Amino acid sequence: MSKTEEYAIPALQEAIIPLDFGTNKSPIHANGRVLAGDIGGTKTILALYEFKHGRPKLLLQKKYKTKEYTSLLAMIDDFREEGTLRFQQVCLGVAGPITNGKVHGTNFPWDIDREELRSELHLNSIVLINDIEANAFGLAGLRETDLVNLKPGSKIPGNAAIIAPGTGLGEAGLFWDGYEYHPFATEGGHCDFSPRSEYDLEIWEYFHQKYGHVSWERLLSGQGIHDIYLLLRYVSGEKEPKWFSDKMKEEDPAAVITNTAIEKQDLVCRETLDMFVRFLAIEASQLALKFKATGGIYIGGGIVPKIFQGMNKETFCDNFIQSGRMNPLLQMVPVQVVMIEKTALVGAAYYGAMRL
């Protein structure tokens, strides 16, 4: 068993962000064990939570490289240690669109079928939700210290949204009913990238030749950072330093590029990071307009929390407020970064607990 991470997760009734979990049950009555999962293109995290009166306790957590497994069931079998673990509910946040209890992963090569899981695990209580929807539900588990401000805004109640760059680009909305937020999944990360300048058009052309359809995910993702870097390195004509090339072969390219940029060791890497931040601001502002998100934009995922200290905040704010007549609305929208990666996992656990 892997050692569980220490993290004081609040009970549902203590949430700083009020959420509706789609059930009439009171959160203080949630009792039992939930197998929660955050299933992404690069990594999958499975965790066993025990709930008592709505308060979760993490019993066991394991991290897996998604593409090293041929199926989710094989991963769950590994987690269960030949069936020695017991739970009453399974809730899995999955990177991809879920239809009738089935999903084909957007960035991993296998399918997940709820009915197959029910049969193999001999358990009826299995729920699949979109991973960014799980992130939205996980906002209920945040403490004040888990959020940092990227852009100030007015405290006006209203809809909110999440944008989460990682292996792919996830987006979800939160409808505000006057009392609570109702999260819902979208596939907005696959909408068309929208250039703002002639330079952006050249970037679109480069990605179009490489991929065909140019979605926001093509730029706002780990692979997107790498692709932007390759383009800018080519345009600059500057030879890549040997120490950098060696690192790129041994480690995750996006992490090497962003870390090098933050440490100011290479100008092309710094330009790559600034461009990523600019594009993130543009798409976040589009999301804010589409959802009229005066309640705020939350930035999650695996990339931004790691690069936050090295981000040019002025670049983000300047590019966020560039929509002409709608600039006054965008000025109202606060933008916060979720600084922990466990949000989707906690959200899946909470969502499952409300169905115990």
**All structural domains of the chain with their residue ranges:** 12-141+342-353, 145-338
- Spatial neighbors of 285 by CB under 8 A, at least 6 apart, are 319, 320, 321, 322, 323, 330, 333
Instruction: Tell me what pLDDT residue 1 has.
Output: 39
Q: What CATH fold (topology level) applies to the domain 145-338?
A: Hexokinase; domain 1 (3.40.367)
Q: What is the pLDDT of residue 106?
A: 76
pLDDT at residue 57, rounded to an integer: 92
Quick one: pLDDT at residue 155?
84
pLDDT of residue 3: 44
What's the pLDDT at 4? Answer: 47
- 109-110-112-115 Cα dihedral, nearest 10 degrees: 160
The predicted pLDDT at position 223 comes to 97
CA gap 57, 187 in Å, rounded? 32
Task: Quote the CA–CA distance of 63 and 1 in Å, as a whole number.
Answer: 11
Q: How far is CA 65 from the centre of its chain?
A: 17
The pLDDT assigned to 83 comes to: 63
Sites in the chain below the pLDDT cut of 70: 1-8, 82-83
Q: Given this model, what pLDDT does residue 82 score?
A: 56
Same fold, 12-141+342-353 and 145-338: no
Contacts of 100 (CB under 8 A, 6+ apart): none
CATH number for domain 12-141+342-353, candidates 3.90.1150.10, 1.10.3720.10, 3.30.420.40, 3.30.465.10: 3.30.420.40
86's enclosing H/E stretch is none
Return the pLDDT at 108.
80
